[in-house]
Amino acid sequence: MALCAQTSQSAPSSPMKELPLPESTPPSPFAIEALKDPSAYSVRIISEDEMTREDRDLLAGAESSMQERAGVQNFDFNGAEWTYHQLVCPALPNHLFVRFTRDDGTRQMSMFSAAIPRDGNGRVRIIPIIRKGYSLFSPAPIGALTIAAFNRIRSEEDAGAKAKADWVGTGVCYAALTGANPEVGGLPSAANSDTTAVMPPTLAVMTDGGAIIHFADISVASRPMEWSMTFDARGKLLKAAHSPAYIQHFGKPTATAADGGEAKQ
């Protein structure tokens, strides 16, 4: 369909001019169509023994860089009693993500995530979560330092792969890097059938090309949490929010009480 430009009656007739119609859907930094593979919506958390030899070698090669950067954040990473798990994020395939924890059973637990580029195009990055029982500056899920690190990680991903990144997968990967073990509610594959999130995962595409991701993490049935992440048109994360989610339990609407908030970069 084309739009016609009007002409006056006294003017000679002129050929019809075609004007471009606005796009029905503005551009988005994410693949709007849902992926058919439900594994893209989740983050697998695997032990050291389950890691591939290639990933274990990559992790070993980055040990000195991790020690240096963890030291800057005042983590005693040279000490003993640290355990780790790999975070397998299909939405960001060009990085190895590992979450380190030191927990002696007291309130002095420490935890941080590490991001290691697979192709060497980038640097090892540390995302502090808890240090000796305390968050740094602001909670990791909403912290400006976390947002900045995540943006640098995404910028190191292959441009083509990043443009096709699944938006739910991107959101849950961010949540995992900040300490969560996310399970997305509102999906048919959700393991917890007794708890259904009122809010299914949503992607709101703004007129300027930006996007807002919403999803509910129901991994802890007694304390489901709602995540919201705002991106600009280039895919840069601008703001993250983390607050209690409203749920339906056995058909009865309830709400949980927990601390939440948001931060802007």
Query: Residues 120-164: pLDDT tens digits?
Result: 888 999 999 988 766 666 788 999 999 999 999 999 987 655 556
Phi first, then psi, for residue 70 (nearest 5°) are -65, -35
Name the strand (E) or helix (H) holding 121: none
Give 4's pLDDT tier (boundaries 50, 70, 90): very low
Among 67-81, 155-169, 240-254, the minimum mean pLDDT is found in 240-254
DSSP letter at 3 equals B
| Mean pLDDT computed over every residue of the chain | 78
Beta-bridged to residue 131, according to DSSP, are 134
Q: What percent of the chain has pLDDT over 90?
A: 40
- The pLDDT, as a whole number, for residue 221 is 80
Residue 70 DSSP SS3: helix
Residue 160, Cβ density class (10 Å: 0-12 exposed, 13-18 middle, ≥19 buried): exposed
Sign of dihedral through CA atoms 154, 158, 159, 163? negative
Sign of dihedral through CA atoms 173, 178, 180, 186? negative
Which residue is listed with tokens 């593979």?
Answer: 37
Strongest mean pLDDT among 18-22, 37-41, 181-185:
181-185
Contacts of 95 (CB under 8 A, 6+ apart): 89, 115, 116, 117, 118, 122, 153, 156, 157
- The pLDDT, as a whole number, for residue 196 is 52
Q: pTM, whole model, 2 decimals?
A: 0.79
Contacts of 87 (CB under 8 A, 6+ apart): 43, 44, 45, 97, 98, 99, 113, 173, 176, 177
Strongest mean pLDDT among 69-73, 93-97, 116-120:
93-97
Name the strand (E) or helix (H) holding 241: strand 237-244
Task: Reply yes or no on whether the pLDDT at 39 is more than 80.
Answer: no
Among 7-21, 51-65, 181-195, the minimum mean pLDDT is found in 7-21
Query: How large is the average pLDDT for residues 197-203?
Result: 74
- The pLDDT, as a whole number, for residue 131 is 85
- Euclidean distance between CA atoms 251 and 196, whole angstroms: 9
Residue 78, Cβ density class (10 Å: 0-12 exposed, 13-18 middle, ≥19 buried): exposed
158-191 per-position pLDDT tens digit: 765 555 678 889 999 999 999 999 988 876 555 5
State how far Cα 233 lies from the chain centre: 16
Task: Reply yes or no on whether the pLDDT at 29 is more than 80.
Answer: no
